[in-house]
Amino acid sequence: DTEVTQTPKHLVMGMTNKKSLKCEQHMGHRAMYWYKQKAKKPPELMFVYSYEKLSINESVPSRFSPECPNSSLLNLHLHALQPEDSALYLCASSQDPATNIQYFGAGTRLSVL
Amino acid sequence: GNSVTQMEGPVTLSEEAFLTINCTYTATGYPSLFWYVQYPGEGLQLLLKATKADDKGSNKGFEATYRKETTSFHLEKGSVQVSDSAVYFCALSDSGGGADGLTFGKGTHLIIQP
């Protein structure tokens, strides 16, 4: 089983709203990732958690706030987003740091009005 | 730094045609190489992988061989189907043993016509 589950599948929010994206995996993977993907572009890395600790933040604006409550769960808290933040947000996980084989969820399609 | 170059397309083929999507890479270490596929409105699915030179990854009729001498990982399929229409991303990981993001190519949009 290589399933990474993301909820919700779609989200529409205003610029003053606060919302959260959720990602879950039960494969025992110890690294989890958030990527942002704009239309017709490859995914861009946002954050990496390794053993539940934030190890990489790719200079993401503070209106995006990641959280890793336990080894199976990864959240992305959203606040005061801009319309240009509309995108597909992908979560991924990996087990083996040596090969870094990443498995992706289906994504959350976010629209900011 | 690391980079991946692949043909962007769109690549349009007829059903049962032979497919090649070229991918070349630049990396400082000994990367792992991947092909991911993205169907419309969906996330990325790992199609195949190769973790060392001369490895051949294969899945669902697709194949790619890790060629260190030419720094390439070309994707091939002998007979494509309409259901293969999707965007294909070549990617590498050169994390040196730590968790890190993947380096992606720009993606190749493949269209298979009946």
CA distances from B105 to A67, B37, B65, B77, B81 (A): 28, 12, 17, 19, 23
pLDDT of residue A43: 97
Whether residues A97 and B97 touch (CB distance < 8 A) is answered with: yes
pLDDT of residue A100: 85
Per-residue pLDDT tens over the stretch A58-100: 999 999 999 999 989 999 999 999 999 999 999 999 987 667 8
pLDDT of B98 over the 80 cut: no
Contact list in B for residue A104 (CB cut-off 8 A) is 36, 43-46
* DSSP code of residue B82: G
Quick check: B90 and B23 in contact, CB under 8 A?
yes
Contact list in A for residue B50 (CB cut-off 8 A) is none
Per-residue pLDDT tens over the stretch A39-67: 999 999 999 999 999 999 999 999 999 99
d(CA A2, CA B109): 25
Name the percent of chain B lying above pLDDT 70. Answer: 97
Contact list in B for residue A7 (CB cut-off 8 A) is none
The whole-number average pLDDT for the span B11-40 is: 95
Secondary element (H or E) of residue A108:
strand A108-112
> At which residue do the structure tokens 């399609």 appear?
A109
| Chain B residues whose C-beta sits inside 8 Å of any chain A C-beta | 32, 34, 36, 41-46, 49, 51, 89, 93, 95, 97-102, 104-107
pLDDT of B85 over the 80 cut: yes
